[in-house]
Amino acid sequence: SLVIRLGAGLDNVDVATAEKLGLKVFNTPGSSATSVAEHIIGLMLALARNIPACSHRVKSGVWPKAECVGVELCGKTLGIVGYGCTGSELAKHARALDMKVIAYDKYKRVDSNAEGTSYEKLLATSDFISYNVPLTQETKDMFNVENLAILKRGARIINASRGEVVSVEALLKGLHDGIVAGAALDVLPHEPPLTDSEKALLLDPRVIVTPHVAGSTEEAETRAVAMACDIIKRELLTRDEPKTLNS
């Protein structure tokens, strides 16, 4: 009678059909927040210091010291789009690196680790932008070609939420036009990459891609399973039923 998604995203769960079948749907929000936030920090550092490209060149027999000049994270502005479990955890980590943190969330207030702002101002003033929103009709292509007109030149885009949140075509155009300095993606619209546009991103040395592993840590998996077990115990053994996603 239960469907439990180990993780927060429900785009791969047919909630409507589950409801028709009388199944209760749960997820485990926050179980991977720390893991995803740490992965995003790692991606930002890799982008800022060109770590993957420099490592690849050294392994290829080149010593490209002069080509590997990067930028510091300290003092830069991080714009967080979506201030849920992951976004708020990311803000805490970024503050520890002395970054200025601003955030946009249509439905939630930010805490003391970030300054709330509009989406337009976030695009115009951020050096790094991280998307941490669920995939909905509202967030699909949230970063798009139109945004390039107001995006701060030299911004770096990070997406560890869902592939369809950031338009691949917008990234390619931004990179081609020199507006986007780099991108780090843990997710793509098709996984593994399928379209010519997605494959073109892989060929750009300014783009880092990881295979949807931001939340893949031993600790996150342990927390998710523990939360699922707690849901099962409360649902089956007590009358104190937890709130479902479709109740």
List active site positions: 162, 191, 212
Copy the structure tokens of residue 92. Answer: 């805490």
Which residues is 208 bridged to in the sheet? 184
Give DSSP secondary structure letters for the chain: -EEEESSS--TTS-HHHHHHTT-EEEE-TTTTHHHHHHHHHHHHHHHHHTHHHHHHHHHTT---GGG-----STTPEEEEE--SHHHHHHHHHHHHTT-EEEEE-SS----TTSEE--HHHHHHH-SEEEE-----TTTTTSB-GGGGGTSPTTEEEEE-S-GGGB-HHHHHHHHHTTSEEEEEES--SSSS--SHHHHHHHH-TTEEE--S-TT--HHHHHHHHHHHHHHHHHHHH-S-PPPPTT-
Are 127 and 150 in contact, with CB atoms under 8 Å apart? no
Cβ-based burial of 161 (10 A; exposed 0-12, middle 13-18, buried ≥19) = buried
